[in-house]
Structure 1
Amino acid sequence: MKLAGATKKGRKFQNPIPTDSGGFGNLIPIMREYANNTAENTPKIPLGPFNTDVSVYQTLPEKGLRITWAGHSSLLIEIDGIRILTDPVWSQRVSFTQAFGPRRFFQPPIALQDLPPLDAVIISHDHYDHLDKATISFFAGKPIPFITPIGVCNYLESWGILKNYINEVDWGDSVMIGNCNITATPARHFSGRGIFNRNETLWASFVIKGPGHNIFFGADSGWFPGFAGIGDAFGPFDLTMLEIGAYGKYWPDIHMGPDNATNAHLALKGKLMMPLHWGTFNLAPHAWYEPAERLLNLAGEKGIALFMPEPGKPTEPDGPYNSEWWKRFMSK
């Protein structure tokens, strides 16, 4: 199915449905929400260390699919013979400067130089917690295909990524990597790395379909009815990877939280659900572990099978798996 491409108004991309992205009008209420917050936003007990056994990558996953979660939305996906890295962020802070801004709760479990050979890198949008200049610069000059929504290519080129290896995609566009078809699909979010360039680049989710597996990388999105359309067109999915963190009173349109993420999983016709975008940075006024705890309860109520591996542990999602690793670091 060919999806309709993203729409623009002037220089600005638009969401599939009207969306409040939490602009200046919400700044004072958001600051007040943070000021009055008493939750454990940052772990009192340091997380980790987590370490990846890189010898695992010397052999292919037994059933063709293996996931290593490096934290937040950074994933090493091994699917049907290829390796894909998503939204790689290895820096200490997700900010325009490393002097201040949200800091990592734990160190990356695997060094960039220790990653196995990659077949592609997917960038979902240009926010600092998904597009990290220092990490991208590590790949400068390397013959690795990048797949990015419209406009993000300008950042990549300026940071040294080979122009001929950048695949710029609109919603509905597909790129073949090996025997896997990677299709950009709609999301309900926004873009911009400053206060004056909002929505001048596109954001996207991605369907990754190989001969043996079909998975969905949701990146960042608020709930919208388009999840059902994606499920009808491309599902069912063996695994959906959906963001559950960084939610709050003033941005329900652009982040789902556990409640709507579980609804999206069901709409997508997913078999297993893996939560992303939590437990790595303090980006919202909720306890750092709250998204996982709430997800467990909701999944039980809705009959959803979860896949929740420990950071850095290469794991095959061939059935429900929940290590509940975070409970080792909860202070309550």
Structure 2
Amino acid sequence: MTAIITIALILLISTIAILRFYPPLGRKPSKARVESSTAFKDGSFKNIEEINMGTSFSSTVGMLKDFMKKDTERKPAEAIPMVQIKPGTHIHETAITWFGHSATLLELEGKRLLLDPMFGKAPTPFPWLSGNRFSKGLPFSTEDLLPIDAILFSHDHYDHLDYGTIKLLKEYIPQFFVPIGVGSHLERWGVESGRITEADWWDELDWKGLKLAFTPSRHFSGRSVNDRNATLWGSWCIIGKSKKVFYSGDGGYGTHFKKIGENYGPFDLTIMECGQYDPRWKDVHMMPEETAQAHLDVGGDLMLPVHWGAFVLSFHSWTDPIERVSASAQQLNIPLLTPKIGERLVVEKGERGTPYWWEA
């Protein structure tokens, strides 16, 4: 009995120590930091429309069964192709470079913005215990990626906000734009508060000739056991003098897309979540057909599907997102961008990417 109690105490102390001192978990923001938000109610952030997380007993049992199935199509048999990027510079073109999952470099009116740069090997606080990303690496060195004028984050989940990436880039990034509360993580990781701007839903920020509007999504947040919905989540409208871009962040389909389109659309380019979905949690991750409809709701022209091509976070095949959204885009006459990882596309030149590269 004494041995059991001792082991239990060791486990308890270890767990408390990890939660308190392990940096990748970030830091839960204080209530004073977040309570001014219009979305903060009864001690946590809430969605505009209620969500079903698919956590019923039957859904949980079904997910466990799916998890145990051997499905070789959930990840590619070989490393997926990449295009090595060229050293960056400020050019007055509208260009997009996708790095897998949601990590994207947007060049707009002379500014270079990183959206949800997750450059780690796995979206977990313990990446050394996990597998590698589908590309087995990234198509750049830090020097090639620079200069970067700002980073925009949509929420604090591990597949979007990565501790290792922040440690790698923080000394080179002059400005971080984040949802309310997410700055607490960055501050713990050594980013000065003066370089962090937090935004609430429908906030508009004027920055170096661009308007950055933080808009709702239908999702959730959290990095640990005690911080569910302690920080806000959302989407970004990036508006220049001649071009407008919408980045959906993560989330389920909802009425907010039409509202965003009414307020800020139409958009020359949308960067839309498309991947890691399942009917059981469609309220927080759109199905591909809903991705196409959401693009139309906001008034999009070109569409870049993201949130696929890097990690196994659901049960669908790794190509299911791009195959299904491609079919929907064709039916709805949506011009689709399909770049390889690292392939830079210039909007003004009509570049669309490499069709069906995932089939090679």
Tell me, what secondary structure is at the counterpart of 1:17? Answer: coil
Is 1:16 aligned to 2:48, yes or no? yes
Structure 1 distance, partners of 2:274, 2:246, is: 15
Is 1:226 aligned to 2:256, yes or no? yes
Structure 2 distance, partners of 1:206, 1:49, is: 27
Q: Which residue of 2 aligns with 1:185?
A: 215
Identify the range of structure 1 (33-42 vs 195-204) with the bigger mean alpha-carbon deviation. Answer: 33-42
Residue type of the alignment partner of 2:352? Y
Structure 1 distance, partners of 2:70, 2:333, is: 32
Q: Per-residue CA shift, 1:57-77, capped at 9, x if unaligned?
A: 34615xx20011111111111
User: Among the aligned pairs, what percent are the same residue?
Assistant: 35
Q: Which residue of 2 aligns with 1:79?
A: 108
1:323 shift after superposition: 1.1
CA shift in 2, pair 1:102/1:327, >3 Å: same
Is 1:139 aligned to 2:169, yes or no? yes
Q: Which residue of 1 aligns with 2:33?
A: none
Query: When the two structures are superposed, what TM-score results if normalisation uses the length of structure 2?
Result: 0.85
Tell me, what secondary structure is at the counterpart of 1:274? Answer: strand
Counterpart pick for 2:128 among 99, 121, 126? 99
Counterpart pick for 1:314 among 330, 344, 348? 344
Q: Per-residue CA shift, 1:15-72, capped at 9, x if unaligned?
A: 1100123447543322222324636001012212431122xx34615xx200111111
Q: Which residue of 2 aligns with 1:200?
A: 230
Is 1:302 aligned to 2:332, yes or no? yes
Residue type of the alignment partner of 1:48? P
Q: Per-residue CA shift, 1:260-300, capped at 9, x if unaligned?
A: 00010010111111101011111111110111111111111
CA shift in 2, pair 1:179/1:302, >3 Å: same
Counterpart pick for 2:91 among 44, 60, 79? 60
Q: Which residue of 1 aligns with 2:358?
A: 327
CA shift in 2, pair 1:165/1:297, >3 Å: same
Residue type of the alignment partner of 1:28? V
Task: Identify the structure with the greater helix proportion.
Answer: 2
Residue type of the alignment partner of 1:323? T
Is 1:45 aligned to 2:78, yes or no? yes
Residue type of the alignment partner of 1:199? N
Consecutive unaligned residues of structure 2, counting only runs of 5 or more, are: 1-36
Who wins on radius of gyration, i.e. which is larger?
2
Tell me, what secondary structure is at the counterpart of 2:302? Answer: strand
Residue type of the alignment partner of 1:38? D
Is 1:34 aligned to 2:94, yes or no? no
1:96 shift after superposition: 1.0
Q: Which residue of 2 aligns with 1:247?
A: 277
Consecutive unaligned residues of structure 1, counting only runs of 5 or more, are: none
Tell me, what secondary structure is at the counterpart of 1:139? Answer: helix
1:219 shift after superposition: 1.1
Contact 1:232 1:268 in 2 (8 A): yes
Is 1:262 aligned to 2:295, yes or no? no
Tell me, what secondary structure is at the counterpart of 1:67? Answer: strand
1:212 shift after superposition: 1.2
1:215 shift after superposition: 0.6
1:181 shift after superposition: 0.7
Aligned pair count reads 322
Is 1:110 aligned to 2:140, yes or no? yes
Residue type of the alignment partner of 1:295? V
1:195 shift after superposition: 3.2
